[in-house]
Amino acid sequence: MRVKICGLTQSAQAVAIANMGASVLGFICVKQSPRYVAPETIGQIVQTLPDVDRFGVFANASLDTIQQTVAIGNLNGVQLHGQESPKDCQTVRGALPGVELIKALRIRSPEDLNQVQAYVPYVDTFLLDAYHPEQLGGTGHTLDWQSLQSFRPQRPWFLAGGLRPTNIGHALSLLSPDGIDLSSGVENAPGDKNLTKVAQLFDVLRACP
């Protein structure tokens, strides 16, 4: 199972978290976010990292912005976390064929899962996050895990939304995602990760059956 820690802003923390066992590090490329990092800063952080996947998180960004950030930040994954349509995903897929394309869906009710099928031809991976009317992610709100027990998309998927060391065991007792995504659940403050909590997360994951 892939473990993605998102919202990194500091090089030392990113290196430490990668060395603890994270398989994906996420960088927020949305300027309105308190976890935003500029492409040049992402590139500087990435230079210090061991072998780990590096995702940029975008929301309703232009193709030019995405392409430039991927190049400057040396990213190998693009996560679209806004209201991007399947056609938007097709455009990004065509422009960046060698980059993993992740579509995040903010789930308010089980009916929201019906939109997944339209994206399948154009994305590599899905990410399910909790819906919040004002925030795109990192809200600390959890999904209704039981309502996702029959979720079997045709692509791998990450579970996100309010995950933390104290509830990840319960979430994984109900669901079998291909990956998990944590941000606020392992933070002191937005963008400032709590390495003790990250270590606790991996302790819990190692103990999971």
Q: Which of 88, 89, 129, 181 is catalytic?
A: 129
Specify the pTM.
0.93
Examine the residue annotation and report whether 129 is marked as an active-site residue of this protein: yes
Q: What is the pLDDT of residue 130?
A: 81
> Any long-range contacts for 195-198 (C-beta under 8 Å, 24+ apart)?
195/13, 195/16, 195/17, 195/20, 197/164, 197/165, 198/5, 198/16, 198/17, 198/20, 198/22
Examine the residue annotation and report whether 144 is marked as an active-site residue of this protein: no
Domain limits of the chain?
2-207
Q: What is the pLDDT of residue 59?
A: 96
Mean model confidence pLDDT for the chain = 93
And the tokens for 3?
Answer: 């473990």
Task: Please give the DSSP secondary-structure letter assigned to residue 36.
Answer: B
Pairing relationship of beta strands 192-193 and 187-189 according to DSSP bridges: antiparallel
Q: CATH second-level architecture of 2-207?
A: Alpha-Beta Barrel (3.20)
Partners of 58 in the β-ladder: 80
Q: Which of 6, 88, 89, 181 is catalytic?
A: 6
- Reported as a single tens digit per residue, the pLDDT across 93-144 is 999 999 999 999 988 877 889 999 999 999 999 999 985 545 454 455 788 8
